[in-house]
Structure 1
Amino acid sequence: MFYSPMRPLCHIFAICGWIATALSASATEPFEGFLEKHCIRCHGPQLEEGDIRFDRLSRDFKAGIDTHHWAEAIGKVNSGEMPPADEPQPTQDELAAFVLDLDTRLKEGRAARMAARPALAHYRLSRKEYQNTVYDLLGVRYDPAKPGELNEDTLWQGYERIGSQLSLSPSHVDRYYRAAEIVLDRAFLQAASEPRKVRKSAAELRYGGGRQQQEALDLFGIKRPLRYLLFPGRVQSALSSNWLGRTGPEHSGLYKLRLQASGIRPPGGQPAHLSIGKQTSEETVDGLIEFDITAPEDSPQVYEFEVFLELPTQLHFCVVATDVVDRRGGAAFRNALVSRGGYLFTHSSETRLLNPNAPQMFDEQGNGIFSTVLLDWVEWEGPLVTEAEKSRRQDVMPPEEATPEQVAAHLQRFAQRAWRREVKPEELKNYMQSYLVEREAGESMTDAYRIALQGVLTSRHFIYLVEGAPQPRPQLNDWELASRLSYFLWSSMPDEALFTAAESGQLNGERLGNEVDRMLSDARINRFIEDFSRQWLQLHRVGMFPPDKKLYPKYDDWLEASMRAEPVEYFRELLMNNQPIDGFVDSDWTMANARLCDFYGLPEPKRDGFQRVSLKPDHHRGGLLTMGAVLGLTSDGTRHRPVHRGVWLSEAMFNKTPPPPPANVDPIEPIPPKGNKITIRQRIEAHASNASCAACHRNIDPLGLAFDQFDAIGQWRTREHVPTGVGEDPLVDASGALPDGRPFTGAAEFKQLLLEDRDRIARAFIEHLCTYALRRVLTVDDQDAVQAIVEDAKSSQYGVRDIVRAVALSELLRTR
């Protein structure tokens, strides 16, 4: 399916375009006659199903105002969806004549539509792409999503890189100038900080050195070392800036965190989860680093992370667990353990030194009553600058004694990398003039040259991907292709090898396949995995409506973060192993961490982090559609929403966006206090009996109702919880039939029916990839090129990696 981001305006613009043509068309003309006989009844003045009126669609196929609607009509006629089964049916000859006529009109107008495209196209970098680009250009870590930095990107159906949506306002310009200053400050510090390392033992963190506590241990004959017991319900210091000596902004940078820890897990409870970040309340932090700790206390594990810190800062530990401390005394519990003399802790079997006045933390067998973390030591090292980061800054800054000619040469080399194309010296005339003016005013070479660098980084040639030339051409040149490939597969600028291929003029030819294979094997492909899957599946919506804690007490922030990561890790596994797209729909495995395994009822994982976990039929999982993230993002925090689930599935799996509901449609009525409890399905069926709603609901509802045995956070259930009304909670009915009549009894059978449509799902996935890669909405004029990719991918059994490669090598990706 192909869309226009301006769809709501199409009918307004169409009114002007269709009048002259439509009025002059004879009703006896076969094309118009078919529309009058089989289409206008449902899509005309009396009824406007799907927000479409064929009498108002433009017949000017060269202008292309409504070509996407006409292309949609061909698809629906070919699939048998139009006319509906309960309407008079045309003969096969009538159908064939109409489809041929309409297809001819579309193709005849293609040349005119392609010629009408602008000679130049500008696509602004998204915030994530800007972040990656300044890192690959200068080795600088910069977070544009922080409050006060770059403006949030406008989304179109989850995508944050559609050119027509990414405008540039005055506030954007101001923020880009400030961002360039920050980037250059970090790239060229006046005095680079030497990395420092500090280690704090549990005795230092908890007991102020622990000398007196060690004497107590010796008195009792306890040989175990002191440990820091981190318990739920309180944040505790993880980093104070003074640990690293006097610090300021010049010490900001990449730091390595290492810590040795183990966990106490209550029988049948969750593993301990540690969150490290800035304190946000008495009991929470912002979660800069989060991970489960499954190592037992007798075999502690060393955990290592890299994190960018802007100093000075304070960081804290916070143990997250659903074993809520409030139930065991809340503040009194915390206060009994906070004071330095409140307890000594070495091991759960050594409880003699615990505060006897504090609430119980362990049972008689030494089992934890709730999840806790045992910390042995923590170590910070930084700021760290890798050799790769240093190499990116080499030769950017000219020597202090450089002549203007040498400065201009340095600037030209930098601009070519930053602007991702060949740059002529005259294009940099104004930047060099700024440099010379600053020098004449007495500024140092470094400070004056930074003004020129800032100009390069705030130019439209850096902020935008610019494709085309004043003289129109249909194909990308090698430099443009290099950028299109790199921002598709790496979400960033081309590397040196791609630049070299573009400069040699060979990228559009024999080197393209080799370069794409190299890019797919590079570590930077992980950016594509994370960015594309997040945008394609609309994972930004996970947690948009926080679940009601009373209805869903098992739901917490760590579960939400784990849910959001599951489809990304799953997509990574499919791509890296080139598994077929069938895995999008169903599988006998998933990617899960300890928190998800606990939530799904899966076997405990063997190690920390996400790993591949086998599934059985009674787990009711497999594929994307039964993941907690997908089932949760289509809910409202209190109940599941089958219609929204159907819309999401239609968009993600079939690349079809159903039309919005009519403005005057009544909402689904709640159940009155004395009414009988009925399912949401039954209430939707009553709602969809409205004639203006039925046409869309018959295509959407089955897609969502198939997953009715999953509640608002993705838990399996057999009865639907109905908070109002009288009677027993009703049994869930997840049966139904696809629009073409194929029946199913639940999610498992429904997924098998989807697998029968793998060609359709493959094409939709390819369309999503092309939208992401081209940074624009596909049109009817892209259909043949997309079909060529489909045929290429089909020959390799629709392996996910093969599909991505086919898109990267396609003619569509090389066309403006």
Structure 2
Amino acid sequence: MKTLVPFVSLTRRGVLSVGLLSVLVTAAGADTLAAAETSEVRQALMTNQHVEVFAKYCLDCHSTDASEAGVDLEGLPLTVSQDIATANMWQKVLNAINSGEMPPEDSEPMTDADKAMFLEALTDQMVIARKILGDSGGVIPLRRLNRREYENTVESLLGVRPDVSSLPDDQVGAGFDTQGASLFFSSDQLENYLETAKAALRLCLIPAEATASKTRRVEPETKQNEAYQKYLDMLLDQYERSLAWQAQDEKPPSEFGILDEYQAKKNLSQYQDWSPQLKEYLQRPETKTGVTLMMTIKAGGYTTVKLPTLFDSAPGKYTIRLRAAHYPGTESRFHYVELSSGYASSKKRVAWRKVTATLDEPEILTFEFDHKPGQREQLWLHQRTHQDRADKNLWTIHQKENGLGTPPGVWIDWAEVSGPEPDLAPTEAAQRILFERPEGVEEDRYAVEVLRRFAVRAFRGTPPDREFLKQLFGHYDANRKAGQTLVEALIDPLAITLSSPQFLYMVEEDREDTRQLSDTELAVRLSYLIWSSQPDDELIRVAMSGQLSDPAMLDQQLTRMLADAQHSHFVRDFVHQWLSMERLGMFQFDGVQFRSFDNATRENAREEIYQLFMHVMHESLPLGDLLKADYVVVNDVMADYYGLDPVQGHEFRKVPLPAGSPRGGLLGTAAVSAMGSDGLRSSPVERGAWVLRHLLNDPPAPAPPNVPQLGRLAGEVLSARELQKAHQEEPQCAQCHRKIDPIGYGLENFDVDGMWRNKEKITTGKARRKKIHQFDISPSGQLPDGTPFASYFELRDAISTRQDDFARGFTEALIAYGLGRPYGFTDQDLADQILSAAKAKNYSVRAFLDAFVHSRSFQSR
């Protein structure tokens, strides 16, 4: 079988055209192998009992003789997994019955019992059929680097992180972004890759003149006091003009600078509501020498300290220092200073620091910021926010309570920015690319050697062929003759190298049969598994010596790579996709109902998951600690959020839990609770499905199309359990909800934001008509295997006993992520081998990785 892969065709005139490189992908014998193995595994079958129901309701209209609408179901094979066409037809049957389209209204209706039995059976068989028919037969497809791998790889070569905003984001609907079949490439992307590479090369090879490091201090009180005084004066002026107009009857409002009566009332109201906070702020003695961080109702929303701009010509590492103190008695989350970058609503949260000192003895806090080449950054200091309407809504609530608004949390005396300390990575990369020309070597010969050496590194140890190198030199030569400097002339051919298939694709030589990877190919596969980037010099050196395939050397290199900071790419990229953590950023959470679940909490809750996994991995703890543990891995933000003993510092660390705590393990994290919601209400079905999919390795079937709306319940306020029970009344929904919902009920003591609750509260209406409805929570239920539980704690205990199922799901995900294709039934033996090896070592993460990288599948093509 052949796969066509776009590539760059080079001409001496410097013109880029899109051609096709025919790359052989091993497929000989794959169909035969798949067929042989399929016969040994369970098939997706409909039984005679199901056929009787099918015949009773469907074949009168869709038989060979009748064939209404051209649909003949009489000859439809009962082996659902027989082939794609058969499975597709069964899927249409499932969809038609699920949606209520079939049987039609003028036919005999299906009884609820028949419908539930038939749909449950067919749904289960479709799950099996998808696994069988979606299996790759063990073939690992040729794949290009996904966007994050491309970023990491270019940065490893150039010391500059490229701007990849014009490149495909490679977000897949299911599975991992390493799946070769999902990593498409079109001809119009070539120019984007080329321009992206050129921009990064210019930053590396033609850097701006180094900027001397210096310290710039900001004394923010002058501008802030001036701005608030100006705003207060404006409110007062509008107030006085409105009063003056109301005090007479002769002149129109326009002579007082007022539009109409509505504006006059608004001016009076705003001054009465907003001015007390501004007056109180300006009267504070500490605001004469610094600024108080607080939420305001004015434009901007909250007090900020604008730091000196970091220009694109001055990249490097910067240190931000500030002298600060907190106000006792205010909400603890306002005792944090937030550092953000950007402008307006596009600000990015960078980091947080907790202020523990009081006004009588302020402290010095420090942030570090890595300013990338070619970028312009505006940094800000402010309090923690939701950065949406919730902040202003909360201010209004507080204003009605205290007459002033949200109480302030932090005072900042001054702030300063020091830097840049030069980032040596681009300089070192440039020196390596443009190595010192040996004495007596001509310029053209030097240029060829620069291109050759760079191509070897870019192609991950594989030398470029002579014709490719010749064409690269043609581009260089044309640029040189056009008057460009040597360095400028090299940028085009170097960019072409970074846009070629040998760089963009993880190229492995194809043969007609399965073969052992070469050591350099194994190095590439290993480095992209652990680092999401290309092999470093050490790994290439070992591979080139032929030693990497030696088990002892492979162990040594894996240990070295897991000790390198780059291994965090595996943790973040794999764990994020494995646990479907994209849901954490999908919804806007109600900031009034869930006041503490602000941006800081959400971002640190996400980081908590990564840090928990990293702790389990580095400490050689059993994977089961992700199911239940007597500790959490948190920083000060999350320790405060969970109400644990105070934790000093923003670094994550292991913290023991008190007896009876609902925390410990994934189920007790705020992130998992939040992902099982829509930002307003918890969702038992989302939570139950997540547990089945990720903890029990028993994924439910996909939701049917055209799920019927429960119109009869419109306007009613129901508890989560009542709402889900209503769904179970529909036969097409019941078979899945009976399996999913009970698990979700067991997690209902966690609110949307992951905080513990004893009552489910639902808010309806707005403003003065707002009403809060409360429902008792009944967390009892059972797992699909019949194991009962009466509470969240019993549910967690029951799930923690299923470590083997959890480990199998983890293994299947690791195989899919590492081999770049969906897990299939032909991977069963590989999964069994990995599990056996890992179980013997207490299911440590390292044991899974060891068994995987040593496996024949990982080391074969």
TM range, smaller chain: 0.7 to 0.9
The answer to whether the 8 Å contact 2:694/2:806 transfers is no
Alpha-carbon separation, structure 1, partners of 2:724 and 2:642: 28
Residue in structure 1 matched with residue 427 of structure 2 by the alignment: 390
Deviates more, 1:412-421 or 1:302-311: 302-311
Once the two structures are TM-superposed, the CA of residue 171 in structure 1 deviates from its matched residue by 4.3
Residue in structure 1 matched with residue 818 of structure 2 by the alignment: 773
Once the two structures are TM-superposed, the CA of residue 541 in structure 1 deviates from its matched residue by 1.6
**Matches for 1:393-408 after TM superposition, within 5 Å:** 393-397=430-434, 402-408=442-448
Residue in structure 2 matched with residue 350 of structure 1 by the alignment: none
Once the two structures are TM-superposed, the CA of residue 422 in structure 1 deviates from its matched residue by 1.5
Letter of the structure 2 residue corresponding to residue 699 of structure 1: K
Residue in structure 2 matched with residue 347 of structure 1 by the alignment: none
Letter of the structure 2 residue corresponding to residue 685 of structure 1: K
Letter of the structure 2 residue corresponding to residue 716 of structure 1: W
**Matches for 1:45-194 after TM superposition, within 5 Å:** 55-59=78-82, 113=137, 117=139, 121-144=141-164, 148-157=165-174, 159-189=176-206, 191-194=208-211
Once the two structures are TM-superposed, the CA of residue 635 in structure 1 deviates from its matched residue by 0.9
What is the RMSD of the two structures over their aligned residues, measured on CA atoms?
4.1
Once the two structures are TM-superposed, the CA of residue 411 in structure 1 deviates from its matched residue by 1.6
Letter of the structure 2 residue corresponding to residue 315 of structure 1: L
Once the two structures are TM-superposed, the CA of residue 285 in structure 1 deviates from its matched residue by 6.7
Once the two structures are TM-superposed, the CA of residue 751 in structure 1 deviates from its matched residue by 1.5
CA gap 1:764/1:708 in 2 versus in 1, 3 angstroms: same
**Matches for 1:436-451 after TM superposition, within 5 Å:** 436-451=477-492
**Matches for 1:160-559 after TM superposition, within 5 Å:** 160-189=177-206, 191-200=208-217, 202=219, 226-232=289-295, 233-241=301-309, 249=312, 251-267=313-329, 269-271=331-333, 272-278=335-341, 280-281=343-344, 286-297=347-358, 298=361, 300-309=363-372, 310=374, 312-320=376-384, 369-382=407-420, 384-386=422-424, 388-397=425-434, 402-426=442-466, 427-469=468-510, 472-510=513-551, 511-559=553-601
Residue in structure 2 matched with residue 814 of structure 1 by the alignment: 859
Per chain length, whose mean CA-contact separation is higher, i.e. which structure has more relative contact order (CA < 8 Å, sep 6+)? Answer: 2
1:733 paired with 2:778, answer yes
CA gap 1:237/1:207 in 2 versus in 1, 3 angstroms: closer
Residue in structure 1 matched with residue 738 of structure 2 by the alignment: 698
The answer to whether the 8 Å contact 1:230/1:375 transfers is no
Letter of the structure 2 residue corresponding to residue 695 of structure 1: Q
Alpha-carbon separation, structure 2, partners of 1:668 and 1:566: 38
CA gap 1:776/1:670 in 2 versus in 1, 3 angstroms: farther
Once the two structures are TM-superposed, the CA of residue 58 in structure 1 deviates from its matched residue by 4.3
Once the two structures are TM-superposed, the CA of residue 453 in structure 1 deviates from its matched residue by 0.3
Residue in structure 2 matched with residue 342 of structure 1 by the alignment: none
The answer to whether the 8 Å contact 1:231/1:319 transfers is yes
The answer to whether the 8 Å contact 1:534/1:540 transfers is yes
Task: Describe the SS at the equivalent of 1:256.
Answer: strand
Residue in structure 2 matched with residue 338 of structure 1 by the alignment: none
Alpha-carbon separation, structure 1, partners of 2:736 and 2:451: 58
Deviates more, 1:476-485 or 1:645-654: 645-654
Task: Describe the SS at the equivalent of 1:468.
Answer: coil
Please, which of 643, 653, 657 is the counterpart of residue 615 of structure 1?
657
Residue in structure 2 matched with residue 683 of structure 1 by the alignment: 723
The answer to whether the 8 Å contact 1:44/1:54 transfers is no
CA gap 1:643/1:569 in 2 versus in 1, 3 angstroms: same
Residue in structure 2 matched with residue 74 of structure 1 by the alignment: none
The answer to whether the 8 Å contact 2:508/2:521 transfers is yes
The answer to whether the 8 Å contact 2:604/2:638 transfers is yes
Alpha-carbon separation, structure 1, partners of 2:542 and 2:443: 31
The answer to whether the 8 Å contact 2:833/2:851 transfers is no
Once the two structures are TM-superposed, the CA of residue 330 in structure 1 deviates from its matched residue by 12
The answer to whether the 8 Å contact 1:395/1:410 transfers is no
Letter of the structure 2 residue corresponding to residue 582 of structure 1: G
CA gap 1:669/1:270 in 2 versus in 1, 3 angstroms: farther
The answer to whether the 8 Å contact 1:277/1:288 transfers is yes
Alpha-carbon separation, structure 2, partners of 1:713 and 1:672: 26
Residue in structure 2 matched with residue 352 of structure 1 by the alignment: none
Letter of the structure 2 residue corresponding to residue 177 of structure 1: L
Alpha-carbon separation, structure 1, partners of 2:673 and 2:815: 26
- Taking structure 1 as the reference length, the TM-score comes to 0.76
Once the two structures are TM-superposed, the CA of residue 174 in structure 1 deviates from its matched residue by 2.6
- Indicate the percent of aligned positions where both proteins have the same amino acid: 27
Residue in structure 1 matched with residue 848 of structure 2 by the alignment: 803
Alpha-carbon separation, structure 2, partners of 1:653 and 1:44: 39
Task: Describe the SS at the equivalent of 1:124.
Answer: coil
1:67-92 CA-partner distances (Å, limit 9, x unpaired): xx9xxxxxxxxxxxxxx9x999xxxx
CA gap 1:38/1:451 in 2 versus in 1, 3 angstroms: same
Task: Describe the SS at the equivalent of 2:593.
Answer: coil
* Gapped regions of structure 2 (runs ≥ 5): 1-30, 59-75, 92-113, 119-127, 226-284, 296-300, 766-770
The answer to whether the 8 Å contact 2:758/2:777 transfers is yes
Residue in structure 1 matched with residue 98 of structure 2 by the alignment: none
Alpha-carbon separation, structure 2, partners of 1:153 and 1:592: 31
Alpha-carbon separation, structure 2, partners of 1:789 and 1:321: 45
The answer to whether the 8 Å contact 2:327/2:409 transfers is yes
Alpha-carbon separation, structure 1, partners of 2:629 and 2:57: 46
CA gap 1:737/1:329 in 2 versus in 1, 3 angstroms: closer
CA gap 1:672/1:36 in 2 versus in 1, 3 angstroms: closer
Once the two structures are TM-superposed, the CA of residue 504 in structure 1 deviates from its matched residue by 1.4
1:765-795 CA-partner distances (Å, limit 9, x unpaired): 1111121111211111111011101111011
Once the two structures are TM-superposed, the CA of residue 430 in structure 1 deviates from its matched residue by 1.8
Alpha-carbon separation, structure 2, partners of 1:523 and 1:32: 45
Alpha-carbon separation, structure 2, partners of 1:684 and 1:592: 34
Letter of the structure 2 residue corresponding to residue 275 of structure 1: E
Once the two structures are TM-superposed, the CA of residue 443 in structure 1 deviates from its matched residue by 3.0
Task: Describe the SS at the equivalent of 1:812.
Answer: coil
* Gapped regions of structure 1 (runs ≥ 5): 1-16, 26-30, 48-52, 70-83, 89-101, 209-221, 334-357, 362-367
1:630 paired with 2:672, answer yes
Deviates more, 1:495-504 or 1:172-181: 172-181
- Taking structure 2 as the reference length, the TM-score comes to 0.72
Task: Describe the SS at the equivalent of 2:666.
Answer: coil
Alpha-carbon separation, structure 1, partners of 2:810 and 2:680: 31
CA gap 1:225/1:498 in 2 versus in 1, 3 angstroms: farther
Deviates more, 1:637-646 or 1:439-448: 439-448
Deviates more, 1:184-193 or 1:573-582: 184-193
1:472-527 CA-partner distances (Å, limit 9, x unpaired): 54332222211111111111110111101221122122421111111112222122
Task: Describe the SS at the equivalent of 1:493.
Answer: coil
Please, which of 564, 567, 573 is the counterpart of residue 606 of structure 2?
564
Letter of the structure 2 residue corresponding to residue 300 of structure 1: E
**Matches for 1:575-594 after TM superposition, within 5 Å:** 575-594=617-636
Once the two structures are TM-superposed, the CA of residue 406 in structure 1 deviates from its matched residue by 3.2
CA gap 1:451/1:670 in 2 versus in 1, 3 angstroms: farther
Once the two structures are TM-superposed, the CA of residue 127 in structure 1 deviates from its matched residue by 2.0
Alpha-carbon separation, structure 1, partners of 2:445 and 2:849: 45
Alpha-carbon separation, structure 1, partners of 2:600 and 2:850: 35
